[in-house]
Amino acid sequence: METSDHENITPRALKSRLDAGERPVLLDVREPWEFELARIEGSVPIPMSQLEGRFRELDPDAETV
């Protein structure tokens, strides 16, 4: 059986963690026009259409949400 190295998190749980001072990397995978409509302060914008070619930009040791 294959195990996953990721887990799901709800928006409410993420907000609680952010309110508690935790600072995971917030990855925003929306396209640029979507990102311009609304953004989360401090998020890293890498559109889903570019993620495969740009995933090396992310710190593998950091928690990414």
pLDDT in tens, 9-21: 999 999 999 999 9
Say if 16 falls within a structural domain: no
What is each CA distance from 64 to 1, 33, 37, in whole angstroms? 24, 22, 22
Q: 52 in a domain, yes or no?
A: yes
pLDDT at 2 over 70: no
Domain of 34 in residue numbering reads as: 27-65
Q: Has this prediction a pTM greater than 0.85?
A: no
- Classify residue 64 by its DSSP letter: B
pLDDT tens column, 40-56: 888 999 999 999 999 89
For residue 1, the model assigns a pLDDT of 47
Q: What is the number of residues in the chain?
A: 65
Number of domains in the chain: 1
- Alpha carbon of residue 31 to chain centroid: 14
For residue 28, the surrounding DSSP H or E stretch is: strand 27-28
Is residue 54 assigned to a domain?
Answer: yes
51 lies in a domain? yes
Cα dist from 61 to 25, 43, 47, whole Å: 11, 17, 21
